Amino acid sequence: MPGRVDPGRGNDRPSGAALPQGQPRPRGIAGGDGVDAGLLESVRESVMAEAGLVTPSRVAAAVQATGKLLGTAGSLAAVERISAELNGLGPLQELTRDPAVTDIFVNAPDSVWLDRGQGIERAAVAFGGEPQLRALACRLIAAGGRRLDDGSPCVDVRLAGGYRVHAVLPPVSTAGTLLSIRIRRERVFTMAELEEGGMFGMEVRHVLERLVQQRLSFLVSGATGSGKTTLLSTLLGLCAGRERLVLIEDASELNPVHPHIVSLESRHGNLEGGGAVDLGELVRQALRMRPDRLVVGECRGAEVRELLTALNTGHSGGGGTIHANTAAAVPARLAALGALAGMNQDGIRLQAASALDAVIHVERTPHGRRVTCIGVMADLGRGLVVRPAIESGPSGALHRGPGWAALAGRLGLEGPDGGLVRPDDREGGRS
């Protein structure tokens, strides 16, 4: 429905908002401040020669090193203008002004795409050619303190302003320089707003709120862009204000509204491979910070062993997100990640069955992002499974599954129905 807010990755504008019309012009490089194409290119090459943040002081030093006499006022203006040119997104900057845009993809100089929550759309933006696109990719990566070159052709960095940039150079990319930019929006939705947006109905909302209140440990599963981070941030905001939340992420994206948050972010190694701090190490360090809730933003590697160990040793109420096609596929994903950590099948089965109480699965449907299943983790002897407690059918109707009794017990609900979902209830929310 036009004007509906889509609860995906922090959008705060109705999903029907239009893109700015026309192709945005690249910022000018010649003007009364003495900044011409030659000066810009000279300063860019000087700044790019060294890894590190592109700071005004570095730009000023590079401008001075050119030997061009600009005067005091001219030099200040040149530093300001060149800093903006080097630190900005170039032709892509215009797209970020639409708060509904969460992802930007550049496949070629004339192939720019974006996502505003309703699927990938082509953008009315183009680069002047491959050199301009490659220069933008290199300076964005440099702004994140890393190098993008033939020796390091695939790099991922996080920039100030909430940008997460991934770049790939040829010949790894067969079609030219590739850019993927994910934009973190500061806005966090409330449960009421997610319900209004159609992510879940009143009954499911009640289950989710009880899940946090009862300190159950859970994973939010789903595909890329399904709304896992959005939902997890909102749920963490329901935690009691006296609780200490320690968030561990590969790239900081969670931003729950809560008074006591400690965030840890992994660090890549330098060009020699030293100095790396992975998620597993951060989980171990977090255990020394006395967390009331320990959260791993995304389980995608060997850190799953440390997370399950923590949840099994008195740190209940935590969890994270995990990529999976369905809730039923989560045990297989955990087994695969556990294998990366050297865990055998019995070890991952016993640890996960004891550590995790629930799995919340979200999907990206034609009507928006929705919670389609809440299940309980169970070890049935023949292997780890997720037993659906609440799931929606093709018609959108909610059904209680075989795991409902176990979930109701963990939620502390009384009575055979727990005062919740009946088989003939329809999924709440509007499309």
**Cα distance between residue 302 and residue 293, in whole Å:** 20
Return the number of other C-beta atoms located less than 10 Å from residue 223's C-beta: 15
Query: What are the start-end ranges of the H helices in 49-154?
Result: 56-65, 71-87, 130-143
Whether the pLDDT of residue 266 is over 80: the answer is yes
Number of neighbouring beta carbons within 10 Å of residue 189? 24
Whether the model clears a pTM of 0.75, i.e. scores above it, the answer is no
Average pLDDT value for residue range 394-408: 85
pLDDT(17) > 70: no
CB 182 within 8 A of CB 103: yes
pLDDT for 23 equals 37
C-alpha 409, offset from chain centre: 32
Contact status, residue 129 vs residue 110, Cβ threshold 8 Å: no
What Rg, from alpha-carbon coordinates, does the chain have? Answer: 24
Residue scoring higher pLDDT (77 or 121): 121
Distances 320 to 58, 307, 311, 329, 359 between C-alpha atoms, Å: 39, 9, 11, 16, 10
Of the two residues 377 and 78, the one the predictor is more confident about is 377
Q: What separation in angstroms does the CA of 70 have from each of 32, 39, 60, 67, 317?
A: 10, 11, 12, 9, 60
319 DSSP assignment: E
Comparing CA positions, the residue from 309, 312, 335, 310 lying closest to residue 322 is 335
For residues 131 and 80, the model is more confident at 131
- Is residue 209 helix, strand or coil? helix
Structure tokens at 21: 């019309």
DSSP string, 349-387: HHHHHHH--EEEEEEEETTEEEEEEEEEEEE-SS-EEEE
Q: Closest Cα partner for 43 from 139, 163, 169?
A: 139
Asked if residue 85 has pLDDT above 70, the reply is no
Assess whether pLDDT exceeds 90 at residue 248: yes
Distance CA 293, CA 317 (A): 6
Where in 186-271 does DSSP place strands (E)? 218-222, 245-249, 261-265
Q: Which residues have a Cβ under 8 Å from the Cβ of 390 and sit 6 or more positions away?
A: 203, 204, 207, 373, 374, 398, 399, 400, 401, 404, 407, 420, 421
Are 381 and 347 in contact, with CB atoms under 8 Å apart? no
Q: How far apart are CA 268 and CA 266, in angstroms?
A: 7
Q: What's residue 55's pLDDT?
A: 73
Q: Do 236 and 254 meet the contact criterion of CB atoms below 8 Å apart?
A: yes
Question: Quick check: 308 and 286 in contact, CB under 8 A?
Answer: no
Read off the pLDDT of each residue in 224-248 and give the average, rounded to a whole number. 93
Distances 13 to 19, 97, 193, 331, 369 between C-alpha atoms, Å: 12, 11, 12, 36, 15
Which of 105, 15, 12 has its CA nearest to residue 366?
Answer: 15
Average of per-residue pLDDT across 351-356: 93
What is the tens place of the pLDDT at every residue in 414-431? 555 555 544 444 344 333
Token pair for residue 76? Answer: 């200040």
Q: Rounded mean pLDDT of 198-211?
A: 93
Token digits for 389?
Answer: 């407690």
Specify the pLDDT at position 251. Answer: 78
> In percent, how much of the chain has pLDDT > 70?
79
For residue 37, the model assigns a pLDDT of 61
Torsion-angle region of 415 (φ positive above 0: left; ψ -120 to 50: alpha; else: beta): left
pLDDT value, residue 268: 75
Q: Name the average pLDDT for the chain.
A: 82
pLDDT for 19 beyond 60: no
pLDDT, mean of residues 48-69: 72
Give tens-digit pLDDT for 124-152: 989 889 998 998 999 899 888 888 999 88
Judge contact between 407 and 374, C-beta under 8 A: yes
For the record, the structure tokens of 222 come out as 């789903």
Q: Does the pLDDT at position 44 exceed 80? A: no
Q: Is there a cis peptide before residue 291, judged by omega within 30 degrees of 0?
A: no
